[in-house]
A and B are shown apart, each in its own frame.
Chain A
Amino acid sequence: MTSGTTTRALAGSVASDVLAAPRRRRAKPRKDRAGYLFLLPWFIGMLFTIIPFFASLYLAFTDYNLLNAPQWIGFGNFREMLDDPLLRQSLKVTFIYTFVSVPLSLVVALGVAMMLNRGIRGLSVYRAVFYLPSLLGGSVAIVLLWKYIFGFDGIVNGFLGWFGIDGPGWTTDPDYALTTLIILHIWTFGSPMVIFLAGLRQIPTMYYEAAATDGASRWRQFRSITLPLLSPIIFFNLIQSLISSFQTFTQGFIMSGGTGGPADSTIFYNLYLYQQGFSQFHMGYASAMAWVLLVIIAAFTALNFLAAKYWVFYDN
């Protein structure tokens, strides 16, 4: 009862803010109400985001061990972060992972999208097959499967064995573990690929026809037509991939059994944050880390938007 009233009041106030058109509101109150009703789950979901959001901002400035009340310590957590070798390691792992796997997976995604865009028969089947890994890639089951494929006696080392190569411990050797995860990430190129494919189909074929008549090579067509016209899509995919890559957690957690090992080589920023918060009773510090990550992601996104002026072409 109460929650119903609150929601209606909330919906009402939002409505007057957003629409600022009392006449229209009076004319179609029924329609509005239905709209907000559909938004209701989102509003309720928002509460579960907003409350922890502000709670974590407060906790970032406290010493909070989960068991006792948080103690205000100002910038203590942030000062501690400056002198934390494991935090530096986690940033290094996350940056290497992001800056190697994001460009590579976008190149692979674009390549496969262009291949599929040649009007081959059974496109929807191929599209689904290539998309499948990205539905599963972040999932526990696939990471476990990956672990077997790249296991010491796994398929990959078995294959290398045919050529007389003693494969390394792909998941146990600190020099290879991150590489294995990067390969897994590249394999999950499906969602940018599908978006690329949609983008490619929007490019009018007459451009290519005209270019071909003028004798432009395929490479020239790709550089002068495909890339510029696709640049907004590339930009979108880049931002999406960067953000999700900075937040990588599952792959590192499952592959290393939660430790970030071998020898801290897969200790992603979010994994270290989790360890601090839930294994080391250091929730204030973990909250501070979360806010630093937010700033890092915001900075990279802003940088991308600034750079976009120089290479993203909007053909309106």
Chain B
Amino acid sequence: MAGLAGLAGLGLSACGRGFGGGDDEPAAGTVQLNMVWWGDAKRAEKTQAALDIFQRKNPGITIKTEYQDSGPYKDKLATRFAAGDAPDLMAMRMDSLREYADRGALLDLTSHSGAVDLSGLSESARTLAAVGDKTYGVPAGLNAIGFVINKTLTDKYGVQIPDGNTWSWADLSTFSQAITKASGKKVYGTNFDASTLANLIVFTRQQGEDFYTADGALGVTEATMVAWFDMFNQMRASGAMPPAGFIEDVGSSAEASYLAKGSIASQIIPTNNFLVYKEAAGGNLALLRIPGETQAKRRGQSVDCPHLWSIASASKHQAEALKLLNFLVNDIDASKATGTTRGVPASSKIAEELKPSLTPDDQVATEYLIGLQGENLPRSYTYPPGSSKIQSSLESIATEVEFKRQTPQQAAKAFIDAGRKALGK
């Protein structure tokens, strides 16, 4: 048995060196860091600009970056770890954090506070990444979800945009129906996914519940899930949203989105993507809060991050990786280069310093987030291990509702059952 295990290990590590590594050997005396993340070409350009500054300031370190679309990133990262070829510094999904951290794959940054200064982190940034009293990553930026409306279309069809700070879910429905009607169904008023956890989490918090509780259990009730699915059914029936089957999986880029195509007038986006969506949709987008915030039992929105920066505990160049992480978090030049492609800088000090140098468009999303940060929002808890399973069962159950194969009641029950099973509580 042990022999076989050894053989397996041998096979895996051999593969890792053969394919995953494949890097050009760095010159003697220099250290090469491997850094991986997801995003588009725009983000790559900005990230590279920051890394160039770092390499100029630290002549002994070169950085080899790899990036790709967000969808397949997760599987790729898991494979890299399995092959014993973990990157030094990586973008870590919030819902994957515990799956790696709980298994000892990530470096605890609290024990390296001398190398990475975390004292500048805003309160919301600090709580985001905490797992107990340890920290396995630093938010690469802060964002929230926001509602964007294409103003070109509302002007064209003469529909007024509701007040984004006080609008209700009913207002959203009325507004969207008006667009659909005025356009003769050429443009549907709105569309957003019932299966995107970030959307559902805000809705759940508005009902006074936590989607995930502090001890990592499922806190959302069946009643809330019924209300969530009901709302989508009603919006589809009234024409506020396109009919079942209309929306296809077109990937995650802003350019390919239905908002950019002009077949829907509004949707929910992560605020750090405001710039790319604005450009893709023709340059005239309004950014509103999520509906229902003033009518709800409590505030639903929260400050999140698109991803964390984490360091592999198996990294051979931890000192250098920490140095790079510190640069990304605490150096104003880094943030000036990257702008807000990953959200508002996690360090409040850097965020303040960066603000004046942002373009007016960039300031829209930044103001939005800084506004939220200043308000008293209930805390949200880290995704427990098993949450990726919850995400996939939500996707299939939401589709069952969309095509009327399940009633909201059946779907809500099925989701809660599947969720509890996935979390083991």
Measured between beta carbons, the chain A residues less than 8 angstroms from B283 are none
Give CA–CA (A261, B244) in the complex, Å: 14
Measured between beta carbons, the chain A residues less than 8 angstroms from B11 are 51-52, 55
Measured between beta carbons, the chain B residues less than 8 angstroms from A258 are 71-72, 75
Give CA–CA (A315, B284) in the complex, Å: 75
Partner of A263, one of B78, B100, B249, B405: B405
Partner of B245, one of A68, A169, A283: A169
Q: Is the CB of A67 within 8 A of B4?
A: no
Give CA–CA (A168, B404) in the complex, Å: 14
Classify the interface of chain A: helix, strand, loop or mixed: loop
Binds A, one of B204-212, B365-373, B392-400: B392-400
Binds B, one of A124-132, A171-179, A305-313: A171-179
A172-B245 contact in complex given A52-B11, A55-B11, A263-B403, C-beta closer than 8 Å = yes
Q: Is the CB of B103 within 8 A of A173?
A: no
Measured between beta carbons, the chain B residues less than 8 angstroms from A164 are none
Give CA–CA (A68, B244) in the complex, Å: 43
Residues of B46-102 at the interface with A, using a CB-CB cut-off of 8 Å, are 71-72, 74-75, 78-79, 81-82, 99-100
Q: How many residues of A contact B (CB 8 A)?
A: 40
Give CA–CA (A147, B99) in the complex, Å: 34
B10 to chain A, nearest CB (A): 8
Measured between beta carbons, the chain B residues less than 8 angstroms from A175 are 403, 405
Q: Is the CB of A67 within 8 A of B81?
A: yes
A311 to chain B, nearest CB (A): 40
What bracket does the count of chain B residues touching chain A fall in? Answer: 35 or more
A66-B82 contact in complex given A55-B12, A263-B405, C-beta closer than 8 Å = yes
Give CA–CA (A275, B72) in the complex, Å: 11
- Nearest A residue to B72, CB-CB: A258
Measured between beta carbons, the chain A residues less than 8 angstroms from B112 are none
Indicate whether B220 reaches chain A with its CB closer than 8 angstroms.
Answer: no
Measured between beta carbons, the chain A residues less than 8 angstroms from B395 are 259, 261
Residues of B301-358 at the interface with A, using a CB-CB cut-off of 8 Å, are none
Q: Is the CB of A263 within 8 A of B399?
A: yes
Q: Is the CB of B4 within 8 A of A173?
A: no
A256-B246 contact in complex given A58-B1, A59-B8, A174-B403, C-beta closer than 8 Å = no
Partner of A55, one of B7, B247, B400: B7
Residues of A273-290 at the interface with B, using a CB-CB cut-off of 8 Å, are 274-275, 278-281, 283
Q: Is the CB of A264 within 8 A of B71?
A: no
Partner of B396, one of A147, A151, A261: A261
Partner of A174, one of B1, B5, B82, B399: B399
A67-B399 contact in complex given A173-B244, A258-B71, A280-B389, C-beta closer than 8 Å = no
Q: Is the CB of A278 within 8 A of B403?
A: no
Measured between beta carbons, the chain A residues less than 8 angstroms from B78 are 66, 278-279, 281
Q: Is the CB of B396 within 8 A of A263?
A: yes
Please, what's the 1-or-0 string for B217-261, where 1 marks a CB less than 8 Å from any CB in chain A?
000000000000000000000000000111111010000000000
Measured between beta carbons, the chain B residues less than 8 angstroms from A38 are none
Q: Is the CB of B7 within 8 A of A54?
A: yes
Indicate whether A257 reaches chain B with its CB closer than 8 angstroms.
Answer: yes
Q: Is the CB of A279 within 8 A of B82?
A: no
Residues of A134-177 at the interface with B, using a CB-CB cut-off of 8 Å, are 147, 151-152, 168-169, 171-175
A17 to chain B, nearest CB (A): 23
Give CA–CA (A162, B232) in the complex, Å: 30
Measured between beta carbons, the chain A residues less than 8 angstroms from B8 are 51, 54-55, 58-59, 70
Measured between beta carbons, the chain B residues less than 8 angstroms from A228 are none
Indicate whether A262 reaches chain B with its CB closer than 8 angstroms.
Answer: yes
Give CA–CA (A108, B180) in the complex, Å: 45
Give CA–CA (A100, B81) in the complex, Å: 39
Q: Is the CB of A152 within 8 A of B4?
A: no
Q: Is the CB of A68 within 8 A of B103?
A: yes
Q: Is the CB of B7 within 8 A of A51?
A: yes
Residues of A34-78 at the interface with B, using a CB-CB cut-off of 8 Å, are 51-52, 54-55, 57-59, 65-70, 72
Measured between beta carbons, the chain A residues less than 8 angstroms from B249 are 172, 256-257, 259, 261
Measured between beta carbons, the chain B residues less than 8 angstroms from A278 are 75, 78-79
A292 to chain B, nearest CB (A): 19
Give CA–CA (A58, B400) in the complex, Å: 38
Q: Is the CB of B396 within 8 A of A279?
A: no
Partner of B388, one of A152, A173, A280: A280
Q: Is the CB of B71 within 8 A of A281?
A: no
A172-B248 contact in complex given A67-B81, A264-B396, C-beta closer than 8 Å = yes
Indicate whether B105 reaches chain A with its CB closer than 8 angstroms.
Answer: yes
Measured between beta carbons, the chain A residues less than 8 angstroms from B399 are 174, 261-263
Give CA–CA (A282, B132) in the complex, Å: 25
Residues of B374-402 at the interface with A, using a CB-CB cut-off of 8 Å, are 388-389, 392, 395-397, 399-400
B385 to chain A, nearest CB (A): 9
Residues in chain A within 8 A of chain B (CB atoms): 51-52, 54-55, 57-59, 65-70, 72, 147, 151-152, 168-169, 171-175, 256-264, 274-275, 278-281, 283
| Listed A/B pairs (21) with beta-carbon separation below 8 Å | A66-B81, A66-B82, A67-B81, A169-B246, A172-B245, A172-B248, A173-B244, A173-B403, A174-B405, A257-B249, A258-B71, A259-B395, A261-B395, A262-B399, A262-B403, A263-B396, A274-B75, A279-B75, A279-B78, A280-B388, A281-B78
